[in-house]
Amino acid sequence: MTAFLLFALLVLSAAGFLGIRRIRTYSDFVVADRSQPFSAVFFSLMATMLGASATIGIADSAARIGTPAFWWLAAGVLGLLLQAALVSGKIRSLAAATLPETAARLAGPAAHRLVAAIVAVSWVGVVAAQFAAMGQVLALASGGAAASGLLLAAAALLVTLYTLIGGQLAILRTDRLQFAVLAAALLAVAAWMQATRPIAYFAEFRCFNEAFPPSRLPGLLLAVGGAYFIGPDIFSRNLVARDPATARRAAFAAAATLAAFALLVPYLGVWCASAPGDAPPLARLAAGGILPRPLAFLLAAGLLAAIISSADTCLFNASAIIAHDLLGLRRISAIRAAIALLGLAALLLALRGGGILSLLLATYSVYSPGVVCPLAVALLAHPRFALRPALWCSAVTAGGALGALGTFLPGAPSALPTAGMALSLLLAVVSLRPATR
């Protein structure tokens, strides 16, 4: 199995190395020359969204708490629908290279580096979550912690290398294949499960239970839905589209497709709830012993595809923001250096261990209160309203600070990130003023 996984990693990454000849300008490297058609944007959105959290993390959650685990991706569907309906076209029409540059065009230079700093710090955790998931799959395949650590380092190096070389074009080239492999794997496994040991999944489907009461939903919708509404990775797919209409149509189509996976992935976890073993269900299935060997191989390749397809996008976008926005270096070489350093930092964090969803929720609980509401207000108000930059930046600072306190301060009220989002929304609205003609 280890040899197969290494081969799968090479195949799933190979297309990324082929795009280097197409890179002629900075725009090619950062936003794929803003020329991508509907299909490229759609497949890249799907591959980006269906990463470690949306597969291994949600299936594991479903095995523990049941069908309410679907809310994680359902929150993503709602966030993406809102993006498609309200801001996708505006994001693309502003023609920025990154999310912080979009903030700068709406709220001024102070907003530029403030938003960039929040993303640069918090998105290390997002990349680390993808690498941690990769480690889980490789650990079960290799059968030893030391071996799996070496395999994880090799896999992370491979992803970092092709992202560093090929940039945005490499990511778009690999996303089609990676999403196709993942979708085929999950559908094939679900079909085998239902044929061998059917469960009454829809008949017993519950939106809430004792493990996930209704009181937990608002925080999840705000933190996770906000990251899908305006998050650097999904946001960046708008920036590569050839026009605003293409960005909007791709977001709507991706939201509809994601809704199907919001039901499919928890089904796999619920089915696995009674299966033997302590590892996350999908990683356990991919290691063999439950599924037929060919199907276990396919699932292993699918999980790696899911992880790689999110890891490369997260890694590239955070690195581009560090170089382009935080340091003000508009050079391909600067972004490549940032990719190398961020990839190493995320690998070290992943090797320390930690749950996939816990890593992501910690990140989203800081990012969403700080950035989502202020940037959403700015985009929705543009061009009829302008912003008072100092007040708008205070909204970002206050929201991010409350989110960080609620996430990392021992004993802090769990509602602090939600309060931070409410405060940042209020301050952002107050910062609006009629635009001068």
Domains of the chain and any CATH numbers: 2-434 (1.20.1730.10)
pLDDT band per the 50, 70, 90 thresholds, residue 358: low
Report the mean per-residue pLDDT for the chain.
88
28-57: average pLDDT? 92
Give the separation between CA 326 and CA 276, rounded to whole angstroms.
Answer: 48
| More confident of the two residues 142 and 316 | 316
Q: Tell me, what amino acid is at 268?
A: L
Query: Strand, helix or coil at 434?
Result: strand
pLDDT band per the 50, 70, 90 thresholds, residue 211: very high
Give the separation between CA 326 and CA 100, rounded to whole angstroms.
Answer: 9
88-117: average pLDDT? 92
Give the separation between CA 219 and CA 224, rounded to whole angstroms.
Answer: 8
- At residue 306, the pLDDT reads 87
Q: What are the φ/ψ torsions at residue 280 (nearest 5 degrees)?
A: -50, 140
| More confident of the two residues 320 and 351 | 320
- Tokens 């490499």 correspond to 170
Q: Per-residue pLDDT for 3 more than 80?
A: no
| More confident of the two residues 276 and 399 | 399
Give the separation between CA 165 and CA 170, rounded to whole angstroms.
Answer: 8
Q: Quick count: other Cβ atoms within 10 Å of Cβ 286?
A: 30
- At residue 233, the pLDDT reads 85
Q: Please, are residues 356 and 56 in contact by the beta-carbon 8 Å criterion?
A: yes
N-terminal to C-terminal alpha carbon distance within the chain: 65
**In terms of DSSP H, where are the helices of 143-243?**
145-196, 217-229, 232-240
- At residue 148, the pLDDT reads 66
165-171: average pLDDT? 90
Q: Per-residue pLDDT for 196 more than 80?
A: yes
- Length of the chain as a residue count: 437
- Nearest C-alpha neighbor of 171 from the set 20, 4, 31, 309: 309
Q: Supply angle C-alpha 407, 160, 88, rounded to 5.
A: 60
Q: Per-residue pLDDT for 146 more than 60?
A: no
User: What letter does residue 352 receive in the DSSP assignment?
Assistant: T
- Provide the sign of the torsion angle of the four alpha carbons 315, 321, 323, 327, taken in this order: negative
**CB-count burial class (<10 Å; 0-12, 13-18, 19+) for 198:** exposed
Query: Strand, helix or coil at 432?
Result: strand
pLDDT tens digit string along 178-192? 999 999 999 999 999
- At residue 355, the pLDDT reads 58
- Of the candidate ranges 125-129, 353-357, 423-427, the one whose mean pLDDT is the lowest: 353-357
pTM for the model: 0.87
pLDDT band per the 50, 70, 90 thresholds, residue 144: low
pLDDT band per the 50, 70, 90 thresholds, residue 217: very high
364-372: average pLDDT? 84
Q: Per-residue pLDDT for 143 more than 80?
A: no
